[in-house]
Amino acid sequence: MTQVAERLLSEEEYLKLEDESIEKRHEYIDGVLRLMAGTTQEHNNVVQNFVFKLMLTAREKACRLAVENIRVKLPAGSKKRYYYPDVVVSCRPNDGDRRTIENPCFVVEILSKSTSAVDKGEKLDTYQRIASIKQYVIVDQARRKVEVYTRQGSKWIYEMLESGTFDIACLETTMTLEEVYAGLRFDESEKE
């Protein structure tokens, strides 16, 4: 991810630019634009696995499941930030607009070499400040490893999984790591 603007942009300028952009997406961090990284087949496969698993459940619960091209806006009063998570769920009616979710309950970011530090640092900190978020899940696309941050009251509980299942609280369902990584093959000698 690289910074692309030579000057700070207002929130209105950013939203206009994104609405006009067809090929590129940018995250917005307090006036700075960050160009989104391209994806890999592995990344795309993991996103599709989440959609395959969660789409019907989200519909049954009147929730909105979105991937990659729908941005999340931080709540009013926070720093001005917009992110494009890889997978996001909101169960609030009429949440945001056709390109933006403001009250997500479940967020997934899929790691790459260029996004790992931001996903595990800045985004982790930011997502944990959004009151509606019940879970933030970080998926490693290079090896079988999922990190799950779950809000329990005023605390966040961390789990690192290499097998098994994790709950998706706002959809009242679970997902196995086999479902997350369906169709992917890993070289077991590359495990850290």
pTM assigned to the model:
0.87
Residues 7/32, Cβ–Cβ less than 8 Å: no
Nearest to 7 by CA among 33, 46, 34: 33
Per residue in 6-58, pLDDT (tens digit) is 679 998 899 898 888 767 888 899 888 988 877 889 999 999 999 999 999 99
Mean of the per-residue pLDDT values for the chain? 89
